[in-house]
Amino acid sequence: MDIMKTFSLEGKVALVTGAAYGIGFAIAQSYAEAGAKIAFNCRSQENMDKAMAEYKKLGIDAKGYICDVTKEDEVQKMVEEIERELGTVDILVNNAGIIKRIPMIEMTVEQFKEVIDIDLNAPFIMAKAVIPSMLKKGHGKIINVCSMMSELGRETVSAYAAAKGGLKMLTKNIASEYGEYNIQCNGIGPGYIATPQTAPLRERQEDGLRHPFDRFIISKTPAARWGTPEDLMGPAIFLASDASNFVNGQILYVDGGILAYIGKQPE
């Protein structure tokens, strides 16, 4: 048996949501390099155009779709278009997500609901749209992009933590409900990754010093660095490939050790 072949995605159709840039783009890039046909979506035409140019530079023939993952009708239409153009979806990565950093008692209900809608309700909508075809095919992979906030809280991210905590349990429930049909649903839990979403936490201060949160994360991470989207490529391929066919309902944390570490004694 050629064990390395079990990591191949040759002949598979992968849909990565929110893959115009950031973590989603890196995961889509890794899946293309592993042999998959790539579909991705985002909301803005400007981001789509930039992303298509970047995929082309990498020699990746990605198909992009303008679709808001919170809108079930748009999602159904996108999945039908993908099935016509590429084939049924074998691998779904629920990556699209937002965060709002606002003290909870200052956050409006609408702001809370927006985060829940994109980060939790949308993965439900997306999974519901692709599972019927996966059942017909007799296999499928769903990977939900969770977070440190699937396990931990911190100031100002109440909506995000509630969503990502819920996403962890949605992952376990999809695994429980569809595992017998050879559909594996797992989560990937990035630590603190250098992307546009975390850029405000890494901005240089006026005095030239690193952002206090930047310094805090470096001290809280045994790897003593921020992660990069590329750090997620290998784990994401593993969870999308036949190499993980008996892995189900797990959250694979790619965090440089944050969740294992109590932190340094203050100097």
The catalytic site residues sit at 160
Residue 76 interaction partner, one of ligand GCO, ligand NAP, none, beta carbon < 5-8 Å per kind: none
On whether the CB atoms of residues 92 and 144 are closer than 8 A, the answer is: no
On whether the CB atoms of residues 214 and 202 are closer than 8 A, the answer is: yes
**Contacting ligand GCO (CB under 6 A), which of 197, 210, 211, 243?**
197
Smallest gap from residue 18 Cβ to ligand NAP (A): 3
By beta-carbon proximity to ligand GCO, the closer residue of 75 and 251 is 251
Which stretch, 19-27, 31-39, 209-217, 237-245, contacts ligand NAP (CB under 6 A)?
19-27
Smallest gap from residue 1 Cβ to ligand NAP (A): 34
64 interacts with ligand NAP by CB under 6 A = no
By beta-carbon proximity to ligand GCO, the closer residue of 9 and 232 is 232
**Contacting ligand GCO (CB under 6 A), which of 165, 190, 227, 229?**
190
Smallest gap from residue 204 Cβ to ligand NAP (A): 18
197 interacts with ligand NAP by CB under 6 A = yes
Binding-site size for ligand GCO (CB under 6 A) equals: 13
Cβ-proximal residues to 193 (8 Å cutoff; 6+ apart), any chain: 23, 226, 227, 228, 229, 231, 232
Residue ranges in contact with ligand NAP by CB under 6 A: 17-18, 20-24, 41-44, 47, 68-70, 95-98, 118, 145, 147, 190, 192-193, 195-198
